[in-house]
Structure 1
Amino acid sequence: MSALAMIHVLKKNAGLDDETYRDLMDRETGKRSAKDLTASEKRSFIVVLNGLSGEKKPAAKSGSKYEAKLQALWIAAYNLGVVGQRSNDAMLTFLRRQTGLDHSRFLLIETDALKAIEGLKIWIRRATGNDELFRTDATLPRLYNDPRFQVCIHIWSELVKLDRLPASASTLTVYLHLETGQEWPEHIEPAQWIEVQNKLGQLLRKAKK
């Protein structure tokens, strides 16, 4: 959803008539038409409307979606050894540098989200030397296009290089089965993927100390 469309949806959610809506915009931005707002002014006005909309605001869902994606990617970067801190504060420092936004809850516009999310992906690929991470290839099986599996493969390959594989398993497939109880990686549940990535990340950090 574009920023302009989001503004109009939030206006309706807040129950504002045209005159009240334009007066509010004038007070907040000095302008009376959303079409005249700059990208920064649109973001600021969305935050204002978002607050007026109460609990019934589709923008909150959009923001949560982007926020969740960024947080998941940041944790992946930590497990891959790209960032040194897993904390939310460290992630927000990166977000401010990429977008100028003070918090991930303000990721309401797709262009802002892409600056942060795609920027982090680029950083991860550059730092790991693995240009295939977080990409899709139609010629490959679906599992190999799953970013969670891609992360696990990369960490496993690093453990192989360091000769620090866990004693319990000689292959990633065996390790995944032992950790999740699932016979096939395709059947691994989302929560199980998180646990596996975190455990592999711990092994990699320990191996690199």
Structure 2
Amino acid sequence: MTPLAAIHVGNKQLGLDEDTARDLYERVTGKRSLREMNDRELRLIITEHRQRGFKPAEKGLQGPFAKKLQALWIAAWNLGIVRDRRDAAMLSFIKRQTGIQHTRFLLDADDAAKAIDALKAWMTREAGVDWSQSVATAEWLRPSGAKIALAQWHVLSVLKAVDPKGFRQFVWDNAKPLDQMTERDWPAVMNALGDMVRKAKA
């Protein structure tokens, strides 16, 4: 993968919109455009992405349930309950839950559910993620990302790193208003909160 391609993939994985990405470029290299950068500067951006949690999918991570499992694994890492965010660590977890060695062999929905449900239960038990949905659930809280971000805020509150009542203000400062957030908007918030969780726990 070329440095440019890696940066575009990193921006997408980290949920960075164009303005946020350009702000990052300028902070790291003094330049707002990738076209103006030399190879060393492009690699500095990639390094910054990696420090924020970007990791290109490891070769061979395939299968109909791979993306969902990987997203949950990264969410658990952002909650501070997974210590190793690499796909290899996730595959070890999946093997313990299902007896299946790799996501490319995880083809049965019942087998996949064992790993998915175990991950979700772990996130509920260790970080208080509330996966429930009801007609009373606020629209903004329906996406999984919102549920995880709210649990991250609770973890930070327990660690006395944030104001327990400040979640709405944090989201307002860093993203769209709650009632405009979609599933695609939450990864950037979860990654930012993940950085805060890991620093607070360090």
Q: Shorter-chain TM-score: what band?
A: 0.5 to 0.7
Contact 2:140 2:180 in 1 (8 A): no
Contact 2:143 2:182 in 1 (8 A): no
Q: Is 1:73 equivalent to 2:68 in the alignment?
A: no
Q: Is 1:176 equivalent to 2:171 in the alignment?
A: yes
CA distance in 2, matches of 1:163, 1:109: 42
**Greater Rg over alpha carbons, structure:** 1
When the two structures are superposed, what TM-score results if normalisation uses the length of structure 2?
Answer: 0.63
CA distance in 2, matches of 1:144, 1:193: 11
CA distance in 1, matches of 2:122, 2:183: 24
Name the structure 1 match of 2:157.
Answer: 160
Unaligned segments of structure 2, at least 5 residues: 1-61
Deviation at 1:139, TM superposition (A): 2.2
Identical pairs, percent: 35
Name the structure 2 match of 1:151.
Answer: 148
Name the structure 1 match of 2:192.
Answer: 199
CA distance in 2, matches of 1:190, 1:136: 15
The secondary structure found in structure 2 opposite 1:137 is coil
Deviation at 1:82, TM superposition (A): 1.3
The letter for the 2-side match of 1:164 is: A
Name the structure 2 match of 1:134.
Answer: 131
The letter for the 1-side match of 2:94 is: L
Structure-to-structure mapping, 1:1-209, within 5 angstroms:
63-64=63-64, 66-128=65-127, 130=128, 133-165=130-162, 171-180=166-175, 182=176, 184-209=177-202
The secondary structure found in structure 1 opposite 2:63 is helix
Contact 1:133 1:147 in 2 (8 A): no
Flag the 1:192–1:146 CA change in 2: closer, same or farther, 3 A: closer
The structure, 1 or 2, with the larger RCO (C-alpha pairs under 8 Å, 6+ apart) is 2
The secondary structure found in structure 1 opposite 2:137 is coil
Unaligned segments of structure 1, at least 5 residues: 1-61
The letter for the 1-side match of 2:189 is: V
When the two structures are superposed, what TM-score results if normalisation uses the length of structure 1?
Answer: 0.61
How many aligned positions are there?
A: 141
RMSD: 2.3
CA distance in 1, matches of 2:178, 2:200: 25
The letter for the 1-side match of 2:161 is: R
CA distance in 2, matches of 1:109, 1:188: 32
Deviation at 1:189, TM superposition (A): 4.5
Q: Residue by residue, what CA displacement relative to the aligned partner does 1:152-198 show, whole Å, maximum 9, x if unpaired?
A: 111112222322129xxx72222112212x2x223224443111101
CA distance in 1, matches of 2:114, 2:121: 10
The letter for the 2-side match of 1:63 is: G
Deviation at 1:145, TM superposition (A): 2.8
